[in-house]
Structure 1
Amino acid sequence: MLQQFQHYITTTFSFLKGKKIVLAVSGGIDSMVLMHLLMRSGYTFSVAHCNFQLRDQESDQDEEFVKMTCQEHYIPYFINRFETQKYADLHKKSIQIAARELRYNWFDELMHTNGYDFLLTAHHIDDSAETFLINFTRGTGLEGLMGIPQQNKNILRPLLPFSREEIERYAQENSVSWREDSSNASDKYFRNKIRHHILPILKELNPNFLNSFQQTLIHLQEAQCLVEEASSMVYEDVVEETNDEKRFDLNKLQKLPHKTTYLYQWLKPYGFTAWNDIFDLTEAQSGKQIFSEDYRLLKDRDFLILSKKTEPQNESYEIQEQLKQIDFPINLRLSDQSHIISHSKGTIFVDKLSLKFPLILRKWQEGDYFYPSGMQGKKKVSKYFKDEKFSLIDKEKTWLLCSENEIIWIVNHRADQRFLANEKTQHILKIEVL
């Protein structure tokens, strides 16, 4: 196994030599074998151990075992103790999800703080097969059927070609010590049920199951590459990107023979799970929206608009008379002028004597009205938004500049006729968006 490991790591991860490496070590057989292989292959690395404090003294004994092993071989090590149960209860997550989040958040912090280039974990082909079966059982797309990737950004898995049986045999032949996690024997966890009952049956039915599984993964990965290439080509025609949102043209999307497949491919990185609701959204009324943990997908006429989810905000900001420029919440410049050049969406000229300072910047509220420039009479801001085909997101991003309770300007859109300067105005104030 040593020669196979050395060949795999030098060909697949040839860039590792000379890099700063940290190895995740639980104390179990997989990570201890990987640690042994790396030492025998001449790699220099540090060790990171997580104590989740879920198994009382056993967790502390694992920590002590990893610590003593590192000291014996003069390997730098980091140990972190987590209040995993408390974190899981606070965030309403399962123990497995909580432990995973705590582990990888700490790994990210550790690597960033100490300048590590890569994190190595000891996942192997049996782990990958278990992940495949878990995702398959729960329902997933093509990507969920590709097992565990050999590389995910700066996380590498150099034991992925090897089976649990090969790892156990190596440990026995090379007198590698390890700690047995008692929770691995329990069927309390879904993964353990797959490990103890489903995988053994598949291996019994096909003694060459893991090799067949690896070949299947290769075919699935090739198919995924084709999907991503096709998706990328169509994306450029259907989706318009701005700094803070993506607009999916439904007229173009509806003409595609596999529109739901494309939508799934484009939206899956944003944490959405209610796929039937998303597919129904293409036919829904304007204003309907679906949320993931961090994003919102809004139906707006002929578009689906993807944007970061934001909390409703009712704050307002004062602009004192002596201020010449503000940078938050938007960039505005105010300057005295001797004459009017020309009004535009982004620049207005107002009668300074008609203003009551401090001016107020705020979001629109139900019942707001103004007197649009170039029109007779007043108009509700909500009606103006509707006539101008503002999306819900557009409304939320729009600021109103006010003098006391009266609107001076729907910023970057339309001024109020009552405050605009004219040829008789003695004190002209220019207000512009930068």
Structure 2
Amino acid sequence: MKDKKLLVAISGGMDSVVLTHLLHGLGYAISLAHCNFQLRDQASDLDEKFVVSLGEKLQIPKYTIQFDTVKYCKKNKVSTQIGARELRYTWFSELLALHGLDYVVTAHHANDNLETFLINLTRGTGLDGLSGIPALNGNIVRPLLFFSREQIKNYALSYDLSWREDASNTDTKYLRNKIRHTIIPILQEMNPSMLQSFTKSLYFIEQSKQIIKDRIEEVEPSIISRNADSISFKISALKKLSDPSAYLYQFLKGYGFKEWNDVYNLMNATTGKFLKTKSHTLLKDRDFLLLLPTHKLYSNDSQVFKITESDVVVEEPIRLMVKNVQKLASLSKNTIYVDKNLLNYPLSIRKWSDGDYFFPKGMLGKKRSISI
């Protein structure tokens, strides 16, 4: 790892100062990156000055940036915490590319991990949310994750390190702070070894996740087929599993779906029913669920949708209702009549192509179809 160039995310607080001191003392090639979110008036500017001064003292590269966080969050309709996270990690990625750096290193520790676990637990989550913060996630490394806040503070005091205190960390209007200052002390009173017990539980959760991963890899070939633009899930194979909805969740959890009951019900829906996230669409297509990027679904001129003889209602790409009738009813511009005996199923719905034509009732000969 010492041959890698590291970008240390530093707020100026105790944890990030200790991380900087450790890595610098061990001879790592580090640079400092500090985000001024302009949320605490003069205190935010003093944090920035502290980091700049530390970089100069250690004679290492330092990068700072100021964000109009309030404006960004309002524009993108996200919370302050989410907005700040999006801003800083986007900037970190830019710094890595611009300066040829290898990893972003953050100062998350064991107490942060416990707080994140409890936050996810209160909001409802699967095993991934209960796994806490990963020590390694792509090019993000968290080397202090196995140390407690108390251990880190003891280190800072023993080396007489200076740091900046963030007054907002004591404000219990924020959920994380409420858990930190209200809930965790009660848990530690009940079990003084709470942090160690939690770390052990994380290990068992990771073991369970690996078992699930192994099982998913085992059944995937009989259920999933992939091509360049889409993934198809064979519904009949899914329904043979012990709990189809649980497997479907594992297959689809990374695509942004939230209303899982609607996802599960799609297996029994009519052809053409679909659900969308910001990035993907899940479409019921006869005996399959098709997952494809939403932009592909609506921009691919060659996309073909099939109608089987058993389909009564079609939702995608246009809404159609198919009925058998014995005689013509009153004519309407929204209704067409075709001779069922001349139809060859499955029928196809696609965009207009050059050369398409049809034979209108009451007219002689054929007529070119037009794009609508």
Matches within 5 A, 1:234-383: 234-310=219-295
1:407 counterpart (356, 362, 367):
356
Matched residue, 1:22: 7
Is the CA contact (8 Å cut-off) linking 1:123 and 1:160 kept in structure 2?
yes
Question: Retained in 1: the 8 A contact 2:280–2:292?
Answer: yes
| Residue of 173, 176, 189 corresponding to 1:188 | 173
Question: In structure 2, do the counterparts of structure 1 residues 63 and 279 end up closer, same or farther at CA, with 3 Å as the change threshold?
Answer: same
Query: SS at 1:196's partner residue?
Result: helix
Give the Cα–Cα distance (whole angstroms) in 2 for the partners of residues 73 and 218 of structure 1: 37
1:152 paired with 2:137, answer: yes
The CA deviation at 1:246 is 0.7
* Aligned-partner Cα distance in 2 for 1:234–1:366: 35
Q: 2:39 aligned with 1:90, yes or no?
A: no
Residue in 1 that maps onto 2:215 = 230
Residues 385 and 76 (structure 1 numbering): CA distance in 2 closer, same or farther, change over 3 Å? Answer: farther
Residues 366 and 305 of structure 1, relative CA distance in 2, 3 Å threshold: closer
Contact 2:10 2:34 in 1 (8 A): yes
Residue 328 of structure 2 is aligned to residue 388 of structure 1:
no
Output the CA distance in 1 between the equivalents of 2:240 and 2:112.
Answer: 41
For the residue of structure 2 that corresponds to 1:218, the secondary structure is helix
3-state SS of paired residue (1:401): coil
Alpha-carbon distance in 2 for matches of 1:226, 1:366: 43
CA distance in 2, matches of 1:277, 1:119: 38
When the two chains are superposed, the root-mean-square deviation of aligned CA atoms in Å is 2.6
| Alpha-carbon separation, structure 2, partners of 1:181 and 1:210 | 24
- Correspondence for 2:88: 103
The separation in 1 between residues aligned to 2:284 and 2:180, in whole angstroms, is: 43
1:24-173 to structure 2, matched below 5 A, reads: 24-173=9-158
**Displacement, 1:289?**
1.3
Question: Structure 1 residues 34 and 280 mapped into 2: Cα distance closer, same or farther (>3 Å)?
Answer: same
Task: Report what 1:430 is aligned to.
Answer: none
> Identity over the aligned pairs, expressed in percent?
45
Structure 1 residues 171 and 248, CA, compared in 2 at 3 Å: closer, same or farther? same
Give 1:279 deviation, angstroms: 1.2
**Paired letter, 2:99:** N
User: How many equivalent pairs are there?
Assistant: 329
**CA positional deviation for 1:313:** 6.2
Task: Measure the CA separation in 1 of the matches of 2:278 and 2:77.
Answer: 14
Task: Render the CA deviation track for 1:143-193: whole Å, top value 9, x for unaligned.
Answer: 110110110011110000000111111111111111111111101211111
Does the Cα contact within 8 Å between 1:400 and 1:408 map onto a contact in 2? Answer: no
Task: Measure how far apart 1:400 and its partner are.
Answer: 3.1
CA distance, structure 2, for counterparts of residue 231 and residue 177 of structure 1: 49
Q: Report the Cα distance in structure 2 between the residues aligned to 1:232 and 1:124, rounded to whole angstroms.
A: 32
TM-score under structure 1 length normalisation: 0.71
2:163 to 175, 178, 186: 178
Question: Aligned partners of 1:365, 1:43: CA distance in 2, in Å?
Answer: 60
8 A contact 2:267–2:284 mirrored in 1: yes
Check whether the contact 2:5–2:28 (CA below 8 A) recurs between aligned residues.
no
Q: TM-score, normalised by structure 2?
A: 0.83
Secondary structure of the corresponding residue to residue 119 of structure 1? strand
2-structure distance, mates of 1:48, 1:177: 18
Q: How big is each residue's C-alpha offset from its partner over 1:31-67, in whole Å with a ceiling of 9 and x where there is no partner?
A: 0110011112111211111111111111111011101
Q: Residue 185 of structure 2 is aligned with which of 200, 208, 211?
A: 200
In 2 relative to 1, CA 399–287 (structure 1 residues): closer, same or farther, beyond 3 Å?
A: closer
